[in-house]
Structure 1
Amino acid sequence: MARAEENCGPAVVAPVADATGARVNGYTPVFESCARGHEMRLATRRMAVDGDDLLLTVDPQSLETSLERAACWRCAATTDAEQAETRFIKAVRPPADPDRPPALVNAGLIHGKGEGAYVTGDLCPSQKPLDRAFIEEVAAQGPGTPLTLAVSGGWIAHHAADFAWLQEKRRSGALDIVWANHSYTHPYVPGLKNGQNYLLRPGVDLDAEIFETEKLLIAHGESPSVFFRFPGLVSDRTLLEKVSERHLVALGADSWLALGPPPRAGSIVLVHPNGNEPGGLQIFSRLLKSERMPKPFRAITEAP
């Protein structure tokens, strides 16, 4: 564990190339209100990494997450009702939209506030390499360009060099990467109907799918965000409620480029830079070059 000069600064988990989730012990979902001086955070997970007791915390207004040393904070259990007026809980449990009935496909946050676009890329398990050209195209928009990557644990586990390359893009400031959770195994059986596929497959352990990906990100020195994207964008009421119970924001998209429609102001744009959907990346490039992609690119934490 690399320590900041200030003893109670944010915890920094030193990256380890061959890290596994086993580096993270006692991983437990919690919901606690934590204070340190005038600072306040909400803790959603407790764990131990390399012998240090840590918290995964979220700023209840900015939605930004950070790993913190548990000993530096005074924490007490809280509830969604007690935090109902925070921007975080409003994002986790948005009010029902009477004009948008619950959907099996593409539930959750599908459109963001304001102008520009929220660019997101899904890294489902794949035997193909990362499409680095797409990443470079986003980075070319300027230092610190926001990019959300919905990453599966299975992709990280089999793409060590590509993941390390992405981490360097984030650490160098070339990109401001937010890591959304895309499950660990991304279960999928070709030909099955959506209602029996993806995370709706019998026997799927949703907690394991969520937590094993979070643990792997932490083991590699990254902070999981509060966003969870369902594989295939497929869910049901039960899955949505379980994701909310784990204090995650379900992330959909209103512009899956390979399938349409085209993006507009505030669109959450979806592409797959995992090598499995080059058509969407080609559309992205054409829209960018023709200046039909809404600008600026914005951080997904601004969307809810």
Structure 2
Amino acid sequence: MMRLILFLMLCWLPLSAVEYIKHYEIFVKQYQENDTLFLISRRFELSGVTFYLTTNTQTLQTKVLSLDASRLMPLDENFSKTPFAQQLTNATALATKGGATHATTEKDKAIYLTMDLCPSTKKGYESDFIEQLTKQNGTTPIAIAISSAWKDHHEKEFTALVNNPLLQITWVNHTHTHFYDPHLPERENFMLHVNTDVKAEILGVEKKLLEEGITPSVFFRFPGLVADEKLMRALRETYFLIPLSANAWIAKNEPIKAGSFILIHGNKNEPQGITMLEKKLPEVVKTYQFHTLQEAFVQ
């Protein structure tokens, strides 16, 4: 509740009007601010005020704003020319890979750390690794792919991550329930399961983050990195989310290279990956520089 109050304060709403988000929905428009085109992808109500989730199509940064509805226009050909639209198209073409595996920009020595928080019955999170990471690297950009199913059972851990001053976090949508059945084959599992409610899976975790005063990013990671063309088309045409895969899944012993999307799990379900990266950290910090995920897609 305190984060929701802070969110309301930043949006200049009276504290007496605190309530939970209502009518969270897909709402696609664009608006112009000086020379920058902004995408609007969601709309919701909070304390009787309509808010919009917006994306700067040049920087890929998201922000929640209350806007004059008369400024909002349908998407046109100008949107399709933006860096965001181009990266969205490119990443959603990679169905067999589950999305973008590495940076599309060329930044010397840049790497991108991503940490998944899939549902887990294990208590805690990889806090010792986070401590080692920030001790050796200082303030560190990290993309955390979070599922509601993890957050709902790890509120203390979630709060610790949010309040860690040494983490520069980009919050990635990792679905609401993160369905997984160990008895099903991969092509019938995760979001490819016949009963998947795609809308609920995507919007559910976004709403939870917003109610914590956290703005979701434009990035999405498929559970298991498993997707098909239908799901990719939904991300591109309905939800406007850039899917992320990885080319340096540490537990699979995939090497880190310049431009790599590094994948580890912070939920204690894959400790071997954490151990392996801890051993590599001194050399990684010496050789590369961690960058924000947005920088992987825009100059």
Same fold by TM (over 0.5)? yes
Residue correspondences, number: 286
Say yes or no: does 1:155 pair with 2:150: yes
In 2, Cα distance between equivalents of 1:194 and 1:67: 36
Separation (CA, whole Å) in 2 of partners of 1:91 and 1:84: 10
Distance 1:292 1:250, change over 3 A: same
Q: What CA distance in whole angstroms lies between the structure 2 residues aligned with 1:96 and 1:240? A: 5
Which of 125, 128, 152 is the equivalent residue of 2:119?
125
Q: Are the counterparts in 2 of residues 271 and 280 from structure 1 also a CA contact under 8 Å?
A: yes
TM-score by length of 2: 0.87
Would you tell me which structure has more helix in proportion to its own residues? 2
What is the RMSD of the two structures over their aligned residues, measured on CA atoms?
2.7
Among residues 190, 194, 198, which one is paired with 1:198 in the alignment? 190
Cα deviation digits, residues 57-112 of structure 1 (max 9, x gap):
11101101111113488211214x44111111011111898xxxx553x3311011
Question: Would the aligned equivalents of 1:117 and 1:293 in 2 still touch at CA under 8 Å?
Answer: no
Task: Give the structure 1 partner of residue 292 of structure 2.
Answer: 299
Which stretch has the larger CA shift, 175-184 or 46-55? 46-55
Q: 2:118 & 2:150 partners in 1: Cα distance?
A: 6
Matching residue of 2:218: 226
2:263 aligned residue: 270
1:66 match: 63
Q: 1:2 to 1:191 in 2, by over 3 A?
A: closer
| CA deviations over 1:18-54 (Å, ceiling 9, x no partner) | x9xx922111212211245666421111101233211
In the superposition, the TM-score normalised over structure 1's length comes to: 0.86
Distance 1:64 1:267 in 2: 21
Which sections of structure 2, spanning at least 5 residues, go unmatched? none
1:117/1:294 contact within 8 Å kept? no
Q: Which moved more, 1:182-191 or 1:45-54?
A: 45-54
Give the counterpart letter for 2:268 in structure 1.
G
2:20 maps to which residue? 23
1:2-151 → structure 2 map (5 Å cutoff): 2=6, 11=11, 23-36=20-33, 40-71=37-68, 74-79=71-76, 81-94=77-90, 103-104=95-96, 106-112=97-103, 113=105, 114=107, 115-128=109-122, 129-151=124-146
C-alpha distance in 1 between matches for 2:179 and 2:286 = 32
Aligned 8 A contact 1:265 1:294 in 2: no
The answer to whether the 8 Å contact 2:40/2:52 transfers is yes
- What fraction of aligned residue pairs are identical, expressed as a percent? 32
Instruction: Answer whether contact 1:264 1:294 (CA < 8 A) is retained.
Output: no
Take 1:273 and 1:103, find their aligned partners in 2: how far apart are those partners? 25
Hey, what does 2:250 align to over in structure 1? 257
